[in-house]
């Protein structure tokens, strides 16, 4: 069914109240609304209403066995959603909420099966973006929200990305400008003896370790093929532009040399080739053989900039009709772990060792 998608441009820092109220009313009536968070844009619906949540899955084409994260705006809202709160959950909430950290906790009965994909756990997060906070408060509801993209595509970091994927399929887009972090939240499982990162994101392994001491990283995060990853979403094709992504890894000089050689090879076969480079390596691609499209993600010393630009860059490669996209690997520390996780998935594990 085609819907008329309402477009609401909003001030990201001081959101206009009448626009927030309008979007909240749509949520209260069981509609689906895309809105900015500090990580990426989310596609929200009333988390307590199975029919509303079903519309999220339909609009995105999301597999039913991939659970949704529930977003709240105040600490007391978590009580009703969980069976119990382990003490270290409190510690993490105090330290990192509001912010890009999702906690996997034992669920309560009020959370519908469709939200958790039948699991006995629920993922909960409190976003820090003023628009997300105002909207959740105004709706007076927990809001289930995955990323507001078509399933399998790069996550949306602007309102324009959302419209490109979901115009005509959702009730409204609240456009508050670009998302700040640019990668999804860190998903941390607290239902196991050692807290385990199921998906790396805006809060790093190092951040969590400083608070918790011991933290584990699920092997799927670094690309190990596991039949049933504990974050069900990790098994699906993800972050994929239309072009085929290859990740080029190794020592930096070799990476640029290998990438340039690959540009020449692919171009000889008539392919359009894009390169996702960094500030440090960009000069290597500004001479022949030139890629058809070059995107400089940022400096290797500022992974936050690379994170903020990554999904947009993948979508830009589509706009430039790249058949092949060559992305340089970066160091897997701090935010680098999350960046590499997304790149690996977007490359479907096609990694070329230089």
Residue environment code for 7-45, b if the CB has 16+ CB neighbours within 10 A, otherwise e: ebebebeebeeebbebbbebbeeebbbbbbbbbbbbbbb
Radius of gyration for the alpha carbons in the chain, expressed in angstroms and rounded:
20
Taking the least distance from each CB to Mg ion, the nearer of 140 and 237 is: 237
SS3 of residue 147 by DSSP:
strand
Distance, CA of 122 to CA of 117 (rounded, Å)? 9
Q: Which of 236, 71, 248, 235 is nearest to 153 (CA)?
A: 236
Judged by beta carbon distances under 5 to 8 A according to partner kind, the member of Mg ion, ligand AMP, none in contact with residue 187 is: ligand AMP
Binding positions for Mg ion, 142-181, rule CB under 5 A: 146-147
Q: Nearest-CB residue to ligand AMP?
A: 233
Judged by beta carbon distances under 5 to 8 A according to partner kind, the member of ligand AMP, Mg ion, none in contact with residue 121 is: ligand AMP
Q: Which of 147, 87, 99, 103 is nearest to 126 (CA)?
A: 99
Taking the least distance from each CB to ligand AMP, the nearer of 116 and 312 is: 116
Report, in Å, the least distance between residue 236 CB and ligand AMP.
Answer: 8
Which of 15, 36, 44, 146: binder of ligand AMP (CB under 6 A)? 146
Report, in Å, the least distance between residue 130 CB and ligand AMP.
Answer: 20
Distance, CA of 80 to CA of 88 (rounded, Å)? 18
Taking the least distance from each CB to ligand AMP, the nearer of 151 and 278 is: 151
Task: Tell me: does residue 187 bind ligand AMP (CB under 6 A).
Answer: yes
Cis-peptide, bond into residue 343, ω within 30° of zero: no
Which of 15, 123, 156, 178: binder of ligand AMP (CB under 6 A)? 123
Task: Tell me: does residue 119 bind ligand AMP (CB under 6 A).
Answer: yes
The site for ligand AMP (CB under 6 A) is made up of 66-67, 69, 104, 116, 119, 121-123, 146-147, 184, 187, 198-199, 230-234
């Amino acid at each position: 069914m085609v819907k008329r998608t309402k477009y609401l441009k909003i001030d990201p820092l001081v959101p206009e109240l009448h626009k927030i109220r309008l979007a909240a009313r749509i949520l209260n009536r069981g509609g689906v609304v895309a809105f900015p968070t500090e990580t990426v844009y989310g596609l929200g619906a009333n988390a307590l209403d199975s029919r509303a949540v079903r519309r999220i899955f339909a609009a995105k084409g999301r597999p039913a066995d991939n659970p949704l994260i529930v977003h709240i705006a105040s600490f007391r809202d978590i009580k009703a959603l969980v069976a119990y709160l382990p003490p270290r959950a409190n510690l993490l909430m105090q330290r990192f909420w509001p912010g890009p950290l999702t906690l996997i906790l034992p669920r309560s009965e009020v959370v519908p099966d469709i939200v958790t994909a039948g699991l006995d756990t629920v993922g909960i997060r409190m976003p820090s973006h003023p628009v997300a906070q105002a909207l959740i408060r105004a709706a007076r509801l927990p809001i289930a929200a995955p990323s507001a993209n078509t399933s399998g595509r790069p996550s949306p970091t602007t309102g324009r990305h959302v419209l490109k994927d979901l115009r005509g399929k959702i009730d409204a887009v609240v456009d508050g400008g670009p998302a700040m972090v640019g990668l999804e939240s860190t998903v941390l499982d607290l239902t196991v003896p050692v807290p385990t990162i199921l998906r790396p994101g805006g809060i790093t392994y190092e951040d969590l370790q400083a608070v918790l001491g011991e933290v584990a990283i699920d092997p799927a995060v670094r690309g190990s093929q596991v039949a049933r990853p504990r974050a069900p979403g990790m098994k699906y094709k993800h972050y994929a532009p239309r072009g085929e992504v290859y990740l080029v890894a190794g020592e930096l000089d070799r990476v640029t040399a290998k990438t340039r050689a690959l540009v020449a090879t692919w171009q000889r076969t008539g392919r359009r080739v894009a390169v996702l480079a960094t500030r440090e390596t960009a000069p290597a691609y500004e001479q022949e053989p030139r890629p058809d499209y070059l995107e400089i993600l940022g400096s290797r010393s500022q992974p936050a900039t690379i994170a903020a630009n990554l999904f947009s860059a993948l979508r830009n490669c589509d706009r430039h009709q790249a058949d092949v996209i060559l992305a340089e690997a970066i160091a897997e520390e701090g935010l680098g772990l999350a960046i590499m996780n997304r790149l690996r998935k977007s490359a479907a594990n096609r990694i070329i060792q230089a």
